[in-house]
A and B are shown apart, each in its own frame.
Chain A
């Protein structure tokens, strides 16, 4: 977490285009953020805001039709976008592990759990099957799966959802990664299981210094688990902040509106503030501030100009020109 050191992951000016007919240049526009060693960074926003797309770009797994049009993704000083596919393959699953939302669709249903975990070590480290399986057993122990020896031979469908997600995590950390990219890892799970999975990820951070980039739309999970937050809206980063200040003093009307939409403890059965309208579809982004049509503080002349990220004196970054020069002061406090 030392800012003087080079960050583990530095995404700078990342722009992703949707090519082909009905394409959209700047689907993800000028996204910049850093993840330092051992740190936990949240990528938040509604669905369709480009969180997953950004994460996929880091893994070099953009779906067909999407193309990185600009910017750089540096991991341990190496530009992943300039890497040949071969080299990228050694990073992905090696130094960067990935955990996705649906464990059942990420695990191979025809393959025994032990072999799936061992596969990563065999491919990346060239270990023999026996050696890799022994390590897989240790990993299952590590992620808190009881009876690891027996579970090595189990198929994914024989495990509960929480156990499947633990297996996913075991294979993500199989090659001792520096960074784990977790895309909604607990969204499909019960809260008690969610708490256990977050606890496991926390242990891995503490004991092995693994950094976590967590894609989520659950602000409770963010408050519980993350050090810093990158908020995205319609393909652009609207705010970057540490977690305490994001919840205490949001620096963008969008984050403020997200916090307001959370049902509050002390005020049951009251009408909740909502964000009017919805995230514009790809291809229909406004030319000015992308949030302006839904913003409670929109309509200003400056809102119609393209917005650029401005860093506030206290280190928070906002993509709202009015907040940046003090013209707009947002309410403080998480609960209102």
Chain B
């Protein structure tokens, strides 16, 4: 694997030079059929992601937060080209990759890698760790089969594990070790963009900080971009340069992490942040939680106008009339809320399907 490591150093150079790993997504929409009629035509649809714009600057981390059902995982699957959007475009390093198929797509795959939440479900229990981490290299023709053990040991060592673990099987590893293996596998092909979907949610507190450290170090070493999808604010706050907050398929607020966390503008972001308990009882007792009323609306049938208005404490009648659009209210800080900007489309024009 000596040639691969030399290659790694070379790629790192290229990355800083050519700023590889920049992502520009515009107007991403993805619907899933909920039910079909006798002819197999969808009769009702769920808009999991609805007109999302997202930018990831090369070498940075963007966090996506939101409750379950907000569409954050679907967004991650669209961006990593595991799922094709109904409309919208994904531009990776200046190249539109939205409609890529066949060989073109296969050639791009190494550049986009994914780490999933459940390190138990994403490793084949019948294959050794060495096989799991080095298989991508084999599949993409980077190494020969005889080189697999050496390549695997190097990758395993890179994520801070004992190289001897490469000979073991997933069931012999702890949750944290397995997540490291998943990260090693994702890094094998030196991706430009790493999509990490809840990488720490299944882990203990102490193990979580290990994985956070690992992701930080790897990004500093190789400069890849990371799209970090998580409902854990502490994780996102610690790693991400920028945060996007999603609610029912839309990004409602997006901006620099310190600004979004320190001075959230959208009522939903405020409520979400106020619900995260601070691990300090003295501080926690002084905090006021913004209580959200009602349940999350059915994503298949979201409210007209602003989707958050049914649970928002600051909603006005015009929130039902106008569908707010994200607008820049501070430099690099976008919010989709009528309290902060007038940007929006009247409901009648926002043709519901």
Contact = CB atoms under 8 A, between A and B. Distances in A.
Q: Do A and B bind each other?
A: yes
Interface of A: 46-47, 160-163, 190-196, 198-199, 217-225, 243-244, 247-248, 257-259, 261-263, 265, 268-269, 271-275, 278, 334-335
Contact of A278 (B176, B205, B280): B176
B210 A247 contact: no
7 contacts: A193-B67, A223-B280, A223-B283, A224-B284, A244-B281, A265-B237, A278-B176
Interface of B: 67-68, 174-176, 204-210, 212-213, 216-217, 231, 233-235, 237-239, 257-258, 271-272, 275-284, 289, 291-292, 295-296
Contacts of A46: 204-207
A320 B283 CA distance: 28
B213 A192 contact: no
A274 B206 contact: yes
A192 B295 contact: no
Contacts of B67: 190-193
List 6 A-B pairs, minimum CB-CB distance, nearest first.
Answer: A220-B277, A263-B238, A224-B277, A272-B209, A195-B275, A219-B279
Which interface residue of B174, B176, B206, B276 has the most chain A CB atoms within 10 A?
A: B206
A160 B206 contact: no
Contact of A161 (B68, B217, B237): B68
A6 to B, nearest CB: 27
Given A269-B239, A272-B212, A278-B174, A192 B271 contact: yes
Given A195-B277, A248-B282, A278-B174, 18 more contacts: A46-B206, A160-B295, A192-B272, A194-B275, A222-B279, A223-B278, A223-B280, A247-B280, A258-B205, A263-B212, A268-B258, A269-B216, A271-B217, A274-B209, A278-B176, A334-B279, A334-B280, A335-B280
A46 B210 CA distance: 14
Contacts of B257: 268
Contact of A261 (B206, B216, B278): B206
Contact of B208 (A163, A243, A261, A271): A261
Contacts of B278: 220, 223-224
Which interface residue of B174, B205, B231, B234 has the most chain A CB atoms within 10 A?
A: B205
A125 B204 CA distance: 40
Contacts of A265: 237
Contacts of A272: 209, 212-213, 238
A275 B283 CA distance: 25
Nearest to A198: B277
A192 B258 contact: no
Contacts of B277: 195, 198, 218, 220-221, 223-225
Contacts of A221: 277
B343 to A, nearest CB: 26
A220 B276 contact: yes
Contacts of A243: 281
A192 B275 contact: yes
A333 to B, nearest CB: 9
A160 B296 CA distance: 10
Contact of B206 (A163, A194, A244, A257): A257
Contacts of A244: 281-282
Contacts of B207: 46, 278
Nearest to A49: B204
B68 A275 contact: no
A159 B279 CA distance: 30
A47 B204 contact: yes
Which interface residue of B68, B209, B231 has the most chain A CB atoms within 10 A?
A: B209
A278 B207 CA distance: 9
Nearest to B262: A265
A221 B68 CA distance: 19
A259 B279 contact: yes
Contacts of A218: 205, 277
Given A194-B275, A274-B206, A274-B210, A268 B237 contact: yes
Contacts of B296: 160
B281 A269 contact: no
B238 A258 contact: no
Contacts of B233: 191
Contact of A223 (B213, B217, B279, B291): B279
Nearest to A44: B205
Contacts of B176: 278
Contacts of A160: 295-296
Contacts of B239: 268-269
B279 A220 contact: yes
Nearest to B201: A187
A223 B237 contact: no
Contacts of B237: 263, 265, 268
Contacts of B175: 47
A284 B175 CA distance: 18
A75 B272 CA distance: 39
Given A161-B68, A263-B209, A272-B212, A191 B275 contact: yes
A195 B284 CA distance: 12
Contact of B213 (A257, A262, A274): A274
A219 B237 CA distance: 17
Contacts of B235: 263
A191 B279 contact: no
A177 to B, nearest CB: 25
A263 B212 CA distance: 9
B281 A247 contact: yes
Contacts of B282: 244, 247-248
Contacts of B275: 191-192, 194-195
A193 B213 CA distance: 29
Contacts of A162: 295
B283 to A, nearest CB: 8
A217 B204 contact: yes
A47 B208 CA distance: 12
A251 to B, nearest CB: 16
Nearest to A248: B282
Contacts of A263: 209, 212, 234-235, 237-238
A190 B246 CA distance: 13
Contacts of A273: 209
